[in-house]
Structure 1
Amino acid sequence: MVGYIVTKILVGLFKNSLRKTKLPLLVVEFLARFFSAILYVSVILVAVGVLGVSIGPVILGLSAVIGLILGFGLQDTLMNLAAGLWIAALGPIDIGEVVSISGQTGKVNSIGLMATELLTPDNTIIMIPNRLVWGAIIINHTRMPTRRVGIDIGVAYGTNLDRAIQLAMELMKSHPKVLNEPEPSVVITALADSSINLQLRAWTKTEDYWEVKGDLTRGIYELYTKEGIEIPFPQVDVHIREMSG
């Protein structure tokens, strides 16, 4: 009983001291539970020793049991726990951020001890084991405050490129959510088979990314159509020959 009371007090003091640091709450809870488990095991061993039972065989028995448990499938569980701790401590992702992990894209709903929960744009929940999150390439789409929008479009050969670029620049600069710094730009990306490919590049706040991308995509198509700038598409000419009998 004394050991139980002392353990509760020590765990409480340990947890309170950790909360005063900058450690994430998940890390604090994990360390507090781990410390508590160690203390309880120590109390049990001391109690067994007081009763006159040799502690050596007990420790050997516990080691054998733990070895069997680990051998029968707790490796993944421990790996998930360890990965969850590292994710919480190092923070490659955070709650509310939009990320791509193992080919899955969604908003981070929660980071648990065992798995990370993503919410996809079509309102589907995806649970990814932490060990797969930690071992995967993580693309964080919303960590930075600004993002660059890229719009690809092709114009026909023979087009006045200076005019096409000027119109695109005016379109981007006129959009209220396109940032002035860094300044928008238009670059020639390729001389393709049927078109000269341009890319409109505009910077915007991360939360406005999809709105700006949609507006500029529609806007450049309508503007070029209005100004008579041809946007070509691949064509195949088929020649049919009549064979004389």
Structure 2
Amino acid sequence: MLQVLLMGVVIGAYELGRHFADGRPSDAFAHARWLWDLERTLHLPDESAFQKWSLGWDGWVRAANEYYVRVHFPAIVLFMGWMWFRHREGWPRVRVVIAVTAAAALALHFAFPLAPPRMLPGHGFIDLMNVYGPSSYSSKPGEGMANQFAAMPSLHVGWALLVAWGAVHYGRGRWRFIMIAHPILTFLIVVVTANHYWTDGIVGCTIVVVTLWATSRVPALSDRKTERTGMSLRRDSVGA
């Protein structure tokens, strides 16, 4: 129960913090224009062209919106439950990774408010969630609890990568490799629905990868049963 409460506080603080980071639309649109130009300089694919190309296939739009709205939060919650009940040796590390990545993302929301592509005028984006439904935003930008100027970074993509990493790292059997499709599909969907730029997903993944690497260097967060058992025995012998 304590662990459930702790992670509830972490995720709740992140969501509440996103709300308090709202309210700088002029900066958010200026950053969006700057990021758009930067991506073109770096020769990243044009998000609007990708969306237009994708709309050549009928019937997938609502499914993509459903995936964006329905999968992200349940996936990370189920992943935490799976880690706690089935792979307790890795729980301390995963718990820290989720907390640290949420804190890093929140800091970026404050420092770099960013309007998503669907709000960027002059590039032909279609707000697929509002046009086709369902939408995860029940209010206009700047209103309500949801911060629609928090596109950078995308924890939709970052945490999808974490779930896939966890499934491959801790799981058994070939089935676990199916989860590799989760971050790939999530990345494509957040871009094609015009909720994020490519850079948002890249930064979200980078935060997760760096945090995973950093936690791998901390002995107390070792996710290997033998190492953790050895550490416990050493602590017991010192205490004796």
TM-score by length of 1: 0.22
Larger radius of gyration: 1
Higher-helix-fraction structure: 2
Higher-strand-fraction structure: 1
